[in-house]
Amino acid sequence: MTAFRVGDQVTIHNSQTGPERIATVDAFTEGNRCMVLSDGTKWRADGQRQWRVGSGYYKGPVVERTRPGDVDIVTRRRAIGVIRKFAQDLNMDSPLDAAALTRIVERIQAEQAAAPKPVDSED
């Protein structure tokens, strides 16, 4: 018997970086030994390792029930990745005009100004 059921929201956790992805349990196969998630990945029904990974030592991501805060962490991680990719690809040949770039900069500055300041700041 598995701790998960079809329709459960789960989080794929990496042992070093924490919550990576949010998914939903779509189905069980292989006599309820394999769990298929909404992102297409297959896991053992207990969520401890991916299905049919080689027989060697496995220390990788695991599937756990989604806990409070997991969605925020995953959303933040994804947003930071998109922003970094955007900034990395940005150069003078980019198709965005000066007005669009100025709007982006203004929004970044507004969000930074609205963010809570660290308590231990010595400014």
Q: How far apart are CA 43 and CA 25, in angstroms?
A: 10
The pLDDT tens digits for 21-66 are: 999 999 999 898 899 999 999 998 888 887 765 565 566 789 999 9
Secondary structure of residue 50 in the 3-state scheme: strand
Structure tokens at 90: 């940005």
Using 50, 70 and 90 to split pLDDT, how confident is the model at 123? low
Helix spans in the chain (H): 70-89, 98-114
Instruction: Tell me whether residue 80 is exposed, middle or buried, using C-beta atoms within 10 angstroms of its C-beta: 0 to 12, 13 to 18, 19 or more.
Output: exposed
Question: What letter represents residue 20's amino acid?
Answer: E
Model confidence pTM above 0.75: no
